[in-house]
Amino acid sequence: MALEELFDLSGRNAIVTGGGSGLGRHFAAGLAEAGANVVLCARDAARCDAAADELRRAHGVTTLGVQCDVREPESIRAVVDRTKDELGSIDILVNNAGTSWGAPVTEYPLEGWRKVIDVNLTGSFIFAQTVGREMIAQGRGGKIVNIASVAAFRSAPPEVMDAVAYNTSKGGVVSLTRDLAAKWARFDITVNAIAPGWFPTEMSEVLLERSGDVFLERIPLRRFGAADDLKGAIVFLTSPASNYVTGHTLVIDGGQSIS
């Protein structure tokens, strides 16, 4: 297979959760640029529609913007059914939807804990489970990429990052990725994860404004991540180029996790 074929996603159909903004928007752009048709879903349907329209015009692929709450199985089912109805199949899932909640551990509200775990971990499981059933029924394999975080591997003092549920949920995503990879390899479904470091997004902007200099001191490349740092990784993990890679978590953090 020629190199350009290894990274070609033409004709593949992908779902990106949390795809209307932030990292999800970057992942969706990479997939579309490589030729994939993309369904962007999130709670903000208007934002997903706008992002889908932009990608359609820029890359000439089929795109859909769909409302979805990953905490609700019925909402996930609706996205999957619409994707099948309008695109015919599901080849790729990027489990990107995420949230956080900051508070000292001794005062951390159960409401915040449940929200973060439900979105980041349980939502990823339910979406993978629902799409995995479809991929198995289709009988031609598939690619699932869960979005973890470098926070899954590193602790932080409270004055730097006080979000225990977020770190815990992302550690769970790494473990979920490994176990799904082992269980679904027989169906030719690869399951991998990406663990980003610090990328400027709406969710991270408060922390970066408050502690950005501290974070930069811990990043050997001395900069935050950008869109182009993610596009190649998502195309690799969803294309034939990664057919022999499964259960792996690719850390993209400028060296933060080794410093």
Q: What is the pLDDT of residues 137-173, one digit of tens each?
A: 999 999 999 999 998 998 878 877 789 999 999 999 9
pTM greater than the 0.85 cutoff: yes
Q: Which residues of 199-210 are buried (b: 16+ CB within 10 A; e: fewer)?
A: bebebbeebbee
- The boundaries of the domain holding residue 237 are 3-250
Residue 136 lies inside a defined structural domain of this protein: yes
Contact assessment for residue 174 and residue 145, using Cβ atoms and an 8 Å cutoff: no
Nearest CA among 48, 153, 167 for reference residue 98? 167
Average pLDDT over residues 125-137: 98
Residue 259 lies inside a defined structural domain of this protein: no
Residue with tokens 């990879």: 181
Nearest CA among 79, 86, 83, 94 for reference residue 124? 94
* Predicted pLDDT at 83: 98
* Predicted pLDDT at 218: 86
The H or E element spanning position 147 is strand 142-147
Average pLDDT over residues 120-136: 98
> Higher model confidence: residue 5 or residue 156?
5
Residue 258 lies inside a defined structural domain of this protein: no
Pairing of strands 249-252, 37-42: unpaired
Percent of the chain with pLDDT over 90: 82
**192-221 per-position pLDDT tens digit:** 999 998 887 776 667 767 767 777 888 889
Report the catalytic residues.
Answer: 166
The total of structural domains in the chain comes to 1
* Predicted pLDDT at 216: 84
Residue-by-residue DSSP string for 37-70: EEEEEES-HHHHHHHHHHHHHHH---EEEEE--T
Q: How is residue 126 written in tokens?
A: 């339910």
Characterise 88 by phi-psi region: left (phi > 0), alpha (psi -120 to 50), beta (else). Answer: left
Residue 179 lies inside a defined structural domain of this protein: yes
99: domain CATH number is: 3.40.50.720
Residue 137 lies inside a defined structural domain of this protein: yes
Residue 145 lies inside a defined structural domain of this protein: yes
Average pLDDT over residues 120-145: 98
Residue 50 lies inside a defined structural domain of this protein: yes
Residue 257 lies inside a defined structural domain of this protein: no
